[in-house]
A and B are shown apart, each in its own frame.
Chain A
C-alpha cells in the first residue's frame, strides 16, 4: 500500500519555464514533508521541506505547496534550468509512536524531470 504517490514518472519542461511536480499521500498522520533531488550515481539531496502547519514554503527558485484537505503537495521550480534535470522524490514523515523513536521517511516513487535547453 503506497502511502506516498507520485503519479507522473516523468516530466519535460523548457528552460526558463515553470516545473510543477506533484505528490499525493494517504496517511493523515504525516506531519512533515520533504522533497529530495537525485542525480545518477549519487544519493538523494535534500531540497526543501514543509511542516503540516504551513501551506507554503519558499526557498529561492523552489516553492512547496501543501494542501492538507486534499492530501496533496507540489513542488514548483521557477525558472527551470537544465541543471535541475534529475529524479525528484517526495517524502513524508511522522513522529514515531513513542518519544525518541525514529522519524521515518516514506518516499514516493519519484518523477524524472528533464529541462530542455
Chain B
C-alpha cells in the first residue's frame, strides 16, 4: 500500500509569489492535515480537513488556505510568500478526524522563498 505522497519534493519561489502544494492520503484515509516545520523546530499545525470540510485551523495568517477534493487528496495554497514561509510542509493522513488514530506523514515539500 502506498503511503502519503506529496508533490513537489522541492520548490523555490520568490517573495510575493503564490505556491500550491499537493498531498494524496493513504487509501481509505479521509482526513488530511497540514503542518509547517521550520528548521530546528517541530511541525506546527496549519489545517485539518475531513470529508472536504475544514475541521481545524492553526495560528496561521489568511495567506494560507487549503482544500480537500472528493478523492480526499488536498492542496495547500500560500499567497504573497514571505521569507519566513521557507520551511518543510508536511501532510498527514488519518482514518478519522477526532479519533485516537495516529497520523501518517508524507515526506514533505521543501519550500524555499528567496
Give the total of B residues in contact with A, Cβ under 8 Å: 27
Q: Chain B residues near A107 (CB, 8 Å)?
A: 35, 42-44
- Give Cα A109–Cα B50 distance, bound, in whole angstroms: 27
Q: Chain B residues near A105 (CB, 8 Å)?
A: 33, 35, 43, 45, 103
Are A51 and B100 in touch, CB under 8 angstroms?
yes
Are B98 and A99 in touch, CB under 8 angstroms?
yes
Q: Chain A residues near B108 (CB, 8 Å)?
A: 43
- Give Cα A100–Cα B56 distance, bound, in whole angstroms: 10
Are B98 and A96 in touch, CB under 8 angstroms?
yes
Are A96 and B55 in touch, CB under 8 angstroms?
yes
Are B107 and A102 in touch, CB under 8 angstroms?
no
Give the total of A residues in contact with B, Cβ under 8 Å: 29
Q: Chain B residues near A32 (CB, 8 Å)?
A: 100
- Give Cα A32–Cα B50 distance, bound, in whole angstroms: 20
- Give Cα A110–Cα B44 distance, bound, in whole angstroms: 12
Are B97 and A102 in touch, CB under 8 angstroms?
yes
Are B107 and A43 in touch, CB under 8 angstroms?
yes
Q: Chain A residues near B35 (CB, 8 Å)?
A: 105, 107
- Please provide the chain A residues from 81 to 117 with a CB less than 8 Å away from any CB of chain B in the complex: 89, 91, 95-96, 99-110
Q: Give the 5 A-B CB pairs with smallest separation, nearest first.
A: A102-B56, A107-B42, A43-B105, A102-B48, A46-B102
